[in-house]
């Protein structure tokens, strides 16, 4: 498997990054089976693994830690912090207090002395960038973290974080992890160009559109059963007009893949990898079968005519709804922020 540079870090990563969200209670509760899937990915040439503390409340990190015993030196290991990990209101967020404490917990669960890429899982409008970057800088200087990154940050905050880092002498975010797929193209407008401008790597999540682009969602068929759809109905409920439009686009993309002689899964992942800003696409298999269906996407080439057809089905730089962006602006989510008291 060929490698790509992770932004301007000088670190080489495989174009497929193994996402570990589905290992543990959120997906595959069988630790031994999850470890076999991780080992198969590594044996296939994947050298990049991404998890998060919040995935099954640390269980995913524990599985990854067990799987990497004896292989840690050859793996670029990424994890994230921000999500709620307990009942205490301070067991979440982007404060120095929580980041430092939770980094230590992630290191223990991952059975490692260092994290290659430590990412802030979401921007928190109540926490100053300098508070967050100051804590991350201390972790880098202590040797516990090599590089820092952001995940699903809006473009304005990507810029703000870079400015704060420069003005305050902090470590800067070297990578962004945005949602990106043939169905979720909003980041093409500003986020991906900004990442290229600042020399940031991009590891995009959701190349299969949260399951929409697996081939299981087709017009005229019953929607597939999915725990993800149960947890996130606003992204899958077909009574919502945006999701109906998404289903229509999915059907057109599935037919396009058939015409091109490839699986929809391969088309979807290859599309993401074709963008010049993308360092790696995160694949998140729950089973060995799912992993095997995705590995071959790195060998797929897409010609300009095929990419033009995709643009005709889903316009560049657009999303079907806020729900697909993985983040909703506070002023949209909270009415109090846009109304005078």
Residue 240 CB partners (closer than 8 Å, separation 6+): 234, 321
**Separation between Cα atoms, residue 216 and residue 23, nearest integer Å:** 21
Q: Which residue has the tokens 């994230």?
A: 80
Task: Look up residue 184 and give its two tokens.
Answer: 């979720």
Query: Does residue 19 sit in helix, strand or coil?
Result: strand
CB 301 within 8 A of CB 270: yes
Residue 236 annotated in active site: no
**Separation between Cα atoms, residue 212 and residue 186, nearest integer Å:** 17
Q: For residues 196, 199, 203 and 207, what is the CA-based torsion angle, rounded to 10 degrees? A: 10
CB 134 within 8 A of CB 165: no
Q: For residues 259, 314, 159 and 97, what is the CA-based torsion angle, rounded to 10 degrees? A: -80
239: left (phi over 0), alpha (psi -120 to 50) or beta: alpha
Strand-pairing partners, residue 19, are 50
CB 332 within 8 A of CB 322: yes
Using DSSP, how many helices (H) and how many strands (E) does the chain show?
12, 10
Q: Which residue has the tokens 């290229």?
A: 196
55, 147, 153, 180: the active-site residue: 55
Active site residues: 55
């Amino acid at each position: 498997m060929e490698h790509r540079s992770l932004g301007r870090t000088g670190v080489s990563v495989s174009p497929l990054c193994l996402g570990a969200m589905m290992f543990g209670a959120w997906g595959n509760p069988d630790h031994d089976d999850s470890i076999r899937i991780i080992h198969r990915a590594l044996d296939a040439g994947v050298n990049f693994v991404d998890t998060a503390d919040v995935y099954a409340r640390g269980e995913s990190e524990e599985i990854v830690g067990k799987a990497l015993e004896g292989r840690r030196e050859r793996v670029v290991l990424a994890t994230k912090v921000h999500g709620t990990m307990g009942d205490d209101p301070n067991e979440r967020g982007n404060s120095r207090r929580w980041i430092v404490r939770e980094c230590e917990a992630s290191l223990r669960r991952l059975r490692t002395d260092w994290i290659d890429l430590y990412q802030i899982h979401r921007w928190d409008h109540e926490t100053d960038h300098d508070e967050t970057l100051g804590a991350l800088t201390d972790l880098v200087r202590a040797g516990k973290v090599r590089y820092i990154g952001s995940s699903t940050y809006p473009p304005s905050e990507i810029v703000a974080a870079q400015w704060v880092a420069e003005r305050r002498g902090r470590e800067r975010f070297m990578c962004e992890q945005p949602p990106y797929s043939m169905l979720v193209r909003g980041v093409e407008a500003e986020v991906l160009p900004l990442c290229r401008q600042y020399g940031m790597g991009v590891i995009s999540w959701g190349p299969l559109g949260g399951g929409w682009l697996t081939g299981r969602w087709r017009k005229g068929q019953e929607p597939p059963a999915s725990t993800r759809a149960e947890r996130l109905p606003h992204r899958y409920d077909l009574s919502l007009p945006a999701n109906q439009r998404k289903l229509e686009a999915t059907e057109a993309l599935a037919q396009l893949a058939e015409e091109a002689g490839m699986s929809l899964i391969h088309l979807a992942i290859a599309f993401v990898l074709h963008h010049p800003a993308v360092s790696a696409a995160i694949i998140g298999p729950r089973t060995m079968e799912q992993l095997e269906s995705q590995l071959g996407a790195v060998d797929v080439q897409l010609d300009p005519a095929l990419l033009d057809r995709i643009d005709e089905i889903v316009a560049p730089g657009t999303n079907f709804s806020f729900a697909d962006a993985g983040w909703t602006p506070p002023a949209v989510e909270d009415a109090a922020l846009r109304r005078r008291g």
